[in-house]
Amino acid sequence: MEGCTPVEMINMSLSSECLNCFETVTFRKIQPPVQRVSRCQQCHAGVHLNIEGISFQKIVFSAIKLSDRRANAGSKKDETYGFRIGQSLPDSGACKHYKQSRRWLRFPCCGRAFACDTCHDEQSDHEAEWANKMICGLCSREQSVQNECKVCKQSVGTRARRSHWEGGAGNRNQTTMSKNDKQKYRGTNKTVSQKLKSKAR
């Protein structure tokens, strides 16, 4: 590719070959991840398609001059765009609008994935429709929208009440902390001197 950078694959058509009669079978409007079964028009055998995801492994900039390539040799590694299954999204899926979110949403209006509806509206020329798919920010698996990833079993949605630890990224506010967390009520029965109370007033 020249003059552009691939980010994600939205819709595509795939042609496969039936292993029984070698007839071409076409799958249209494919958007990974997908599992689809079709029938061969010639022998009616079942043809199964299973795509977990797509990642862009290596980008070759053929438009760059050879002299520029030699000058920049070793300065930059091959860049990877989009996201890879099994690896976390940039900032684990969080954005400036929802810093506790751990997912991206795929919007049916354009088929593209954004961290939130506000990010979609800022980078698109149309209003966002209600998203029905999400990409886990921790394992990059696409699935239906929910607060917990079906694959890695981690919480990805924003929650009002969260536990104290959570790998060091948990809640430190005792008001919104889970009632089952012992840190929520720590220090509430502590004796406070009258001198400190008067200073607080």
| 59 pLDDT tier (thresholds 50, 70, 90) | very low
Q: Give whichever of 70-74, 126-130, 181-185 has the largest mean pLDDT.
A: 126-130
* Angular region, 194: left φ>0, alpha ψ -120 to 50, beta rest: alpha
Higher model confidence: residue 117 or residue 199? Answer: 117
User: What's the CA gap between 201 and 198, in Å, rounded?
Assistant: 5
**Can you read off the two tokens belonging to residue 137?**
């920010």
Q: Which residue has the tokens 């012992």?
A: 182
Q: Is the dihedral of CA 179, 174, 96, 76 positive or negative?
A: negative
**Can you read off the two tokens belonging to residue 161?**
């009440």
Higher model confidence: residue 187 or residue 111? Answer: 111
